[in-house]
Amino acid sequence: MSKLPVISGKICIKAFGKAGFYFKRQEGSHITLRKDDPFAQMVVPNHKELDRGTLRAIIRQAGLSVDGFIKLIK
């Protein structure tokens, strides 16, 4: 398993867009992303840096592996 990089919320949202997630709504700096088939929904804070634990939890909610997410970033 690869080590998670420190990335911004903007990069995280862009990567999940490649995985089929789309923008649902925003409240303050928190953006809700959704995927319909299979259903998955998560909240990504649009901050300059995401904590690794927060990022790991978001990836888990999306149903992706860490390695799969890192491939989406590149």
- Name the residue among 43, 13, 19, 21 with its Cα closest to residue 31: 43
Q: So what's the pLDDT on residue 27?
A: 96
pLDDT 10s digits, 11-62: 999 999 999 999 999 999 999 999 998 999 999 999 999 999 999 999 999 9
SS3 70: helix
Q: So what's the pLDDT on residue 1?
A: 62
DSSP code, position 37: T
